[in-house]
Amino acid sequence: MATAAEPDDAVLFAGVSLVLGAACRHLFRGTRVPYTIALLVLGVALGSLEYGTKDGLGKLGAGMRIWANINPDLLLAAFLPALLFESAFSMEAHQIKKCMAQMLLLAGPGVLMSTFLLGTALKLTSPYDWNWETSLLLGGLLSATDPVAVVAVLKELGTSKKLSTIIEGESLMNDGVSVVVYQLFLQMVLGRSFNTGSILMFLSEVSLGAVALGLAFAIISLLWLGFTFNDTILEMTLTLAVSYIAFYTVQDALKYSGILTVTALGMFYAAFAKTTFKGDNRRSLHDFWYCSSNTCPFILF
């Protein structure tokens, strides 16, 4: 029987998950087992014990159920902007410039091709008699990739930095493009009619508008940082705040792609703003963002 959940149980589960994540990191360091895959398997095992056995995991299981039942929009809003910004900000400027064409090719035409191939397969094989709009809507949802474990393995193996940059940058961009494609077909499913011109206009407005707003947020925040000197706390706070405010403003208020906005924001910082942060400040800022995105293994459970 599942234990009645209390708010403190959620904190208990988060703390235990961090300990288990640290243990996995320690045990599998130097092996061929990817850290993120180990966390995923451990999470599946814990979930199986809680949901598949009679007694469950007690208070730990109660905390797990709290996290499992959390509003998905809240979960995304809490973690996604920081994860996106860190991933884009940690990329090297010269690699971004060298690989931008490949990243755009894979994230743009590549996602559209994947959407239509998946949508066609669903239309032809699905037993639910979906129309083309619904099939393409699901195809757009399934087109996004999340190669976190792949990039981690590539880094550990010491493979080409260019390959890692292409995979990571493409994954950031195709998430945003997939959201734009999803919004388009969702409008069609809800009854809005489009012709070729209006489709191109919609895609251009939602995607290019999101990128332009990301660059605008980056420039404004950098102008603010230009008036500061040797203030690490302010730099950390401002970069964290601008990633969340940009995501919320674009995603909720303007109904554009918040993912593309934060990705553009982070890449602009990586390409043009790293020289703004000097010496120890740059190191502290890098450590802050790295730790922020890598000390929450319970979100993989």
Mean pLDDT of 122-146: 86
Contact by Cβ (8 Å): 141, 185:
no
> In the prediction, which pLDDT does 95 show?
77
Q: What one-character DSSP code corresponds to residue 253?
A: I
Domains plus CATH for the chain?
7-70 (no CATH), 74-298 (1.20.1530.20)
> In the prediction, which pLDDT does 157 show?
64
For the entire predicted model, the pTM comes to 0.78
> In the prediction, which pLDDT does 150 show?
60
Contact by Cβ (8 Å): 106, 170:
yes
Over the stretch 219-239, which tens digit does the pLDDT of each residue have?
998 888 877 777 778 878 888
> In the prediction, which pLDDT does 2 show?
57
Q: What percent of the chain has pLDDT over 90?
A: 8
Q: Return the beta strands (E) in the chain as ranges.
A: none
Residue with the larger pLDDT of the pair 10 and 277: 10
- How many Å apart are CA 180 and CA 100, to the nearest integer? 20
Contact by Cβ (8 Å): 257, 179:
yes
Contact by Cβ (8 Å): 276, 238:
no
Residue with the larger pLDDT of the pair 158 and 179: 179
Q: Does the pLDDT value for residue 6 go beyond 90?
A: no
> In the prediction, which pLDDT does 216 show?
93
Assign 153 a pLDDT band (cuts: 50, 70, 90).
Answer: low
Amino acid of residue 46: L
- How many Å apart are CA 201 and CA 226, to the nearest integer? 36
> In the prediction, which pLDDT does 80 show?
82
Assign 253 a pLDDT band (cuts: 50, 70, 90).
Answer: confident
Q: What percent of the chain has pLDDT over 70?
A: 84
Q: Calculate ∠ Cα 78-81-87, nearest 5°.
A: 130
C-alpha radius of gyration, the chain, whole number: 21
